[in-house]
Structure 1
């Protein structure tokens, strides 16, 4: 005989294949809903969730039993008798406000009591449902109970809120089930605020069969009048494998709420009748007057359940069982008329029924439930296959036949599209080049004076503003800070001017270098990025605003931030190459101590002179060297050659001439000191500042000169505009080469047209071709559905 685990594994494999088939049917219905009858779609939407729920149950491999019945039908007493301990409250007052789950535990160490509470929002929802229920038609008892719940909740709202704030609930491990009796009684019955706040109780105990993973759900009665309780009961019924239906022996007729319970159980599992999985437990059987009364009442119950085997229609005396085994609560003892329950049952010719009930359920677990599972899964598989066959019957005549020799899918955008794109691409390139020349491209010799393009003028302005801001906001250059540094280390009355000069310059040099290394290049990179964005926007516009254009052009599909970081680094390298020399020349040493620097940095200094584009003619060739040596901008000689060079300053020199001038100047610096001294004016001499004011005046003059050269020389020597133009030209060339060399743009536009992603593209697939493409796609999916249907057994 097949074991339960073997049956589970077999049915799980079947249902997983069926689930794949159902998913394919849903995909088809989304594409061709107009071709599938609404009734067929409705059936598919019912069967798919049902299939999912059964798959979930098989994956968890649990046996779940819903214990249902009207309120006060004796569900809690029945479960107490099953557990052999009066642990669940069954007092005369209403004490069941939510579901209780009893789980089988494998060992005593696994036993646990867990209480989950309603949230504040859920308490508010329950109150609204109670208010709505009171406005409807209710019996006197129902109205009284719901009104009590509503009033008690309002009365204990602050106490209930304390429990609602316990997001993780309450947990208690135990060894003997009696350890949690007081806690559970208090929570569910004695503490009114706590009982109103409880949403779910989970009790794990070895009192259920530990060799099976079993869950009993004690759910609220359907006649509670509260929607949330009814929803909980419905959910338990949808997920249960069996039903223990607690029915008072004295009430053989089936009421409206009871019929509703059975209809829900039946509709969820149409392939398995309620009679195949229900255990009708006739509670309080010892309340009958005599054997005749008992047999007549039992016969009436049998008439309502003709298909239920007699072993599953069981009279039970739960309280008598508790009294018999000496484990009743005080309330149970009060509710028994006398201590002769055993005699009363003997008079009726019955026993307490608990042994028969357990044997019946154990027999169902060990034998019958495998057959129930098979029938349920057979029905699910059959239902989905039936829907699949009907879908195939409807769709295959429309979509299922196509000639493999017809045009292929790629031909939907074949020769005609290629010809159209070839013409469009030539037009796009021409328009792009024209726009680039007018808007982006700079003039020749872009780093020369006045020759940057107006779109790049913002770059120079940003640079000048940042340089001026940094140098006019130096902490070291503030008067108080200059005085502090100047007087530090010496006496206040007689500080050493030379030492003060060195100290100020040392701190000033350090501060400027640090700011230049960290604070300057961001604005330059932002200015260039704005121009790059213009190119990206233009290319996207030329390609009809297709989304993929920008990320493809700028590599933003990887990380556009990496490209921006590379640009910032490029600016920083260019700037520091010449700015460091300028700062060192003007700031690092006092005027009288620069001779060594002039010899070692002659080439760099002459480069700064050669690239100077300011208005002051004295600061051009030879002027910077003279200033650094003597503190004056007066030129060393006024030869005829100087006149020609002055004219050249008005027009930027050619690159070869600049290099030659630097070489000549460096050679002149390298001449023997004696010869050099002979050529210098006799009246030239360097006077060291001999007080604080003179030191500050020398330093401020050097800062002014540094600012001028950073703006009018370093900017051009660094080649910022050339660097920008190179970056822009690289993107421009990339845009054209991506199509001319790699055919990337045609692929992006083809995809957008093919899947109709961009209505701006002025090319449309003919309707006949689009229809063919859809027919072919659906035909392929229909083929897959038929194959999946064949694989499901």
Structure 2
């Protein structure tokens, strides 16, 4: 395809590639995509290069930069190319402004356009020159400030012409005359003399060694943006600033080598003395360029642009002064090229026709292939990097919305499970601390906290129930004593009848104590269950999973268990103390039957009242151990009995302690036995029944059950999470706090996939 067609084609291809790039970068920038920064930087680099190419292609221009050191003869070279000694070329610096030369097909389109600097641009130039300490330029600007101001005031110029010679004075004024040129931004020359192909542009760039950074920057920008370079070289070996040309060209056009688009014109060959020195000069240049840029020989042309102008009668007076007269030039060239005729010297020895031929051949035959190489490489890189982005992300995320949603849901569940594993350890530690604080109180030196609190509750229950039992017993006594007082009070029968009635009440009292203890344990269990429920954010599932069925059912089970423990030791004591009077056959028979159970109670007694220290002894002697000092003296050394103990019993008798009536004797005996029963309940049965162990085991059982149900709690936690339990959401990582599925990655992945397929 031709240049215009190729330009349009690759403008479209590069634009489409940038669409793919846009989707790739949009995807790659997402943190969850985990695309390396290096890959994204590679994409950005290629995209920036593609944008520059599109900008170049839109202009449909083929830009050729004519560069070289100051006074290498760049302007003279262009003049020879144009067959007109047009651009200023003299010993001092004569190019202050980059001149752009455009090819046009019709002579009627020929014109010169001069664009002047705005005030802002002019001030920027002054600042730049001050930074560069360019005293001469600043002096010139100050000296000719009025003229420079006038140029800017006059504004841009548009000068049509038919012959190039008509605009020479304008070019000299606005390009080479420093009195005016500092106010000129650029000069554009449109001519049919440049090339037969439309869209060709020559740039006459100021010398790289001018000393002004501005000129170096212009050269760098131009070389990065041009399609071909013609270096006008004066010396055999490359100077430092000429080496910058290679660097700037490579940096700006990374897909094309210097050798792909560089032409070298070895100028001023007429300065050589002999054919041998000329040959040596040329060979050294060939070698140097081959070594530095792999530039082939056919890209290097030697000649003299000035000689071309003089020999073709195109040179102005200044050029003739600098180059010499035609006869002397012919003689010099004839000396160097002994095998050429006089006519051939004009055409071939000057090198202008040859380099034009080579450049035109490049324009006609190679520039499309170079454009193809430049653009296809960039397109391939963009597509390759974009595919890498797609493959990296596609390995972790699906591009189908439903699959993506399912993937995200599964991923969130996995993330939640991983979070739960850590949270579960925290919950277990929290629960253990709560257990230690409220049950074992592991920092205490005495009894455990639970036992101390439980014993306090137990004592309160026993005392309150025994108090009620005593009140009822005293009320029942009146009726029983009255029934056994006809015609006289029957002490023995009344004692038995009262005890029978009392024993039935004692059994009920034991059940009451067991029930109230069970209620206490239930309250503790509820307290722990509530705490564990709090650990799982108030989920109602906790209580249902830990306590089977209802709380009433749990209470009944605990009550049954406590009753078994309690009655195992309390019932033998009640049998021995309540069923039969002291010294009765009934009591003696009970002692024989329950002897082992009675004796075991003594092992747990921790009270301080000596009469009750041995249950069997008290069962035998009864109130004598409390009220008869002789008996106490004989059995345990006449220890004093607390006055309040005797007062507690004598409160309920009407006769003197030294002369008790039969009725009061029964009252003292029964109330003493009831007081003994209370003492054993308080100071022995609690420990014998193992309430401490049972309570701890029950609470520990709840805690252990909670610990053993990790899998259950994971399910509960998951349900609470899905139901958006606010207490749970407060402690979750941010990405788990919402049910909204983030499909952004998959959406962008799908867009990139479609874009890649569409481009292909």
Determine whether 1:310 maps to 2:294.
Answer: no
1:357-436 alignment, distance < 5 Å: 357-400=355-398, 404=402
Residues 338 and 410 of structure 1: CA distance in aligned 2, closer, same or farther (over 3 Å): closer
2:330 aligned partner:
342
2:350 aligned partner:
352
SS of residue paired to 1:224: coil
Residues 28 and 384 of structure 1: CA distance in aligned 2, closer, same or farther (over 3 Å): same
Determine whether 1:227 maps to 2:213.
Answer: yes
1:324 aligned partner:
311
Q: Deviations over 1:668-689 (max 9, x none)?
A: xxxxxxxxxxxxxxxxxxxxxx
1:26, CA displacement in angstroms? Answer: 2.8
Residues 170 and 765 of structure 1: CA distance in aligned 2, closer, same or farther (over 3 Å): farther
1:31 aligned partner:
30
SS of residue paired to 2:130: helix
Determine whether 1:186 maps to 2:173.
Answer: yes
SS of residue paired to 1:163: helix
User: 2:24 and 2:170 mapped to 1: Cα distance?
Assistant: 52
Does structure 1 conserve the Cα–Cα contact (< 8 Å) formed by 2:103 and 2:198?
Answer: yes
User: 2:330 and 2:240 mapped to 1: Cα distance?
Assistant: 35
User: 1:400 and 1:290 mapped to 2: Cα distance?
Assistant: 76
Does structure 2 conserve the Cα–Cα contact (< 8 Å) formed by 1:98 and 1:229?
Answer: no
User: 1:405 and 1:242 mapped to 2: Cα distance?
Assistant: 52
2:583 aligned partner:
none
2:228 aligned partner:
242
1:760-779 alignment, distance < 5 Å: 767-768=734-735, 775-779=742-746
Residues 779 and 205 of structure 1: CA distance in aligned 2, closer, same or farther (over 3 Å): same
User: 1:152 and 1:31 mapped to 2: Cα distance?
Assistant: 56
Does structure 1 conserve the Cα–Cα contact (< 8 Å) formed by 2:206 and 2:215?
Answer: yes
1:112 aligned partner:
111
For the pair shown, which has the larger CA radius of gyration, 1 or 2? Answer: 2
Q: Deviations over 1:342-384 (max 9, x none)?
A: 2212221261111101110110011111111111112101211
Determine whether 1:58 maps to 2:57.
Answer: yes
SS of residue paired to 2:230: strand
User: 1:62 and 1:226 mapped to 2: Cα distance?
Assistant: 28
Does structure 2 conserve the Cα–Cα contact (< 8 Å) formed by 1:399 and 1:775?
Answer: no
1:16, CA displacement in angstroms? Answer: 2.4
1:618 aligned partner:
none
Does structure 2 conserve the Cα–Cα contact (< 8 Å) formed by 1:126 and 1:228?
Answer: no
1:769, CA displacement in angstroms? Answer: 6.4
1:116, CA displacement in angstroms? Answer: 1.3
Does structure 2 conserve the Cα–Cα contact (< 8 Å) formed by 1:129 and 1:226?
Answer: no
Determine whether 1:283 maps to 2:267.
Answer: yes
Residues 402 and 765 of structure 1: CA distance in aligned 2, closer, same or farther (over 3 Å): farther
Q: For the aligned residues, what is the CA RMSD?
A: 2.9
User: 1:118 and 1:49 mapped to 2: Cα distance?
Assistant: 28
Does structure 2 conserve the Cα–Cα contact (< 8 Å) formed by 1:221 and 1:229?
Answer: yes
2:505 aligned partner:
none
1:6, CA displacement in angstroms? Answer: 4.0
5+ residue gaps in structure 2?
338-347, 410-728
Q: Deviations over 1:463-506 (max 9, x none)?
A: xxxxxxxxxxxxxxxxxxxxxxxxxxxxxxxxxxxxxxxxxxxx
2:162 aligned partner:
175
1:624 aligned partner:
none
User: 1:237 and 1:194 mapped to 2: Cα distance?
Assistant: 27
Residues 130 and 770 of structure 1: CA distance in aligned 2, closer, same or farther (over 3 Å): farther
Does structure 2 conserve the Cα–Cα contact (< 8 Å) formed by 1:99 and 1:218?
Answer: yes
2:238 aligned partner:
254
Determine whether 1:159 maps to 2:147.
Answer: yes
Residues 185 and 772 of structure 1: CA distance in aligned 2, closer, same or farther (over 3 Å): farther
User: 1:37 and 1:72 mapped to 2: Cα distance?
Assistant: 50
Residues 773 and 375 of structure 1: CA distance in aligned 2, closer, same or farther (over 3 Å): farther
1:246, CA displacement in angstroms? Answer: 1.1
Residues 174 and 407 of structure 1: CA distance in aligned 2, closer, same or farther (over 3 Å): closer
2:461 aligned partner:
none
User: 1:119 and 1:784 mapped to 2: Cα distance?
Assistant: 46
SS of residue paired to 1:305: helix
Does structure 2 conserve the Cα–Cα contact (< 8 Å) formed by 1:252 and 1:301?
Answer: yes
Residues 223 and 115 of structure 1: CA distance in aligned 2, closer, same or farther (over 3 Å): same
1:126, CA displacement in angstroms? Answer: 2.3
Q: Deviations over 1:322-349 (max 9, x none)?
A: 1111111111111124432122122212
Q: Deviations over 1:381-404 (max 9, x none)?
A: 121122212322433334446771
Does structure 2 conserve the Cα–Cα contact (< 8 Å) formed by 1:120 and 1:161?
Answer: no
User: 1:102 and 1:320 mapped to 2: Cα distance?
Assistant: 22
SS of residue paired to 2:30: helix
User: 2:299 and 2:404 mapped to 1: Cα distance?
Assistant: 65
User: 2:349 and 2:93 mapped to 1: Cα distance?
Assistant: 28
Residues 787 and 34 of structure 1: CA distance in aligned 2, closer, same or farther (over 3 Å): closer
1:296, CA displacement in angstroms? Answer: 1.0
User: 1:770 and 1:204 mapped to 2: Cα distance?
Assistant: 68
Determine whether 1:264 maps to 2:248.
Answer: yes
Does structure 2 conserve the Cα–Cα contact (< 8 Å) formed by 1:399 and 1:776?
Answer: no
Q: Deviations over 1:561-603 (max 9, x none)?
A: xxxxxxxxxxxxxxxxxxxxxxxxxxxxxxxxxxxxxxxxxxx
1:320-719 alignment, distance < 5 Å: 320-339=307-326, 340-349=328-337, 351-400=349-398, 404=402
Residues 290 and 775 of structure 1: CA distance in aligned 2, closer, same or farther (over 3 Å): farther
User: 1:358 and 1:776 mapped to 2: Cα distance?
Assistant: 60
User: 1:198 and 1:133 mapped to 2: Cα distance?
Assistant: 19
User: 1:101 and 1:403 mapped to 2: Cα distance?
Assistant: 55
Does structure 1 conserve the Cα–Cα contact (< 8 Å) formed by 2:401 and 2:743?
Answer: no
1:771, CA displacement in angstroms? Answer: 8.4
**TM-score normalised by structure 2 residue count:** 0.53
1:108, CA displacement in angstroms? Answer: 1.7
Determine whether 1:197 maps to 2:183.
Answer: yes
Residues 771 and 374 of structure 1: CA distance in aligned 2, closer, same or farther (over 3 Å): farther
Residues 188 and 25 of structure 1: CA distance in aligned 2, closer, same or farther (over 3 Å): same
User: 1:212 and 1:380 mapped to 2: Cα distance?
Assistant: 26
1:217, CA displacement in angstroms? Answer: 0.8
1:31, CA displacement in angstroms? Answer: 3.3
1:258, CA displacement in angstroms? Answer: 1.9
Q: Deviations over 1:494-546 (max 9, x none)?
A: xxxxxxxxxxxxxxxxxxxxxxxxxxxxxxxxxxxxxxxxxxxxxxxxxxxxx
SS of residue paired to 1:94: coil
Residues 771 and 373 of structure 1: CA distance in aligned 2, closer, same or farther (over 3 Å): farther
Residues 192 and 14 of structure 1: CA distance in aligned 2, closer, same or farther (over 3 Å): closer
1:205, CA displacement in angstroms? Answer: 0.7
User: 1:59 and 1:125 mapped to 2: Cα distance?
Assistant: 29
**TM-score normalised by structure 1 residue count:** 0.51
Does structure 1 conserve the Cα–Cα contact (< 8 Å) formed by 2:29 and 2:35?
Answer: no
1:210, CA displacement in angstroms? Answer: 4.0
User: 2:60 and 2:405 mapped to 1: Cα distance?
Assistant: 52
SS of residue paired to 2:209: helix
Does structure 1 conserve the Cα–Cα contact (< 8 Å) formed by 2:404 and 2:743?
Answer: no
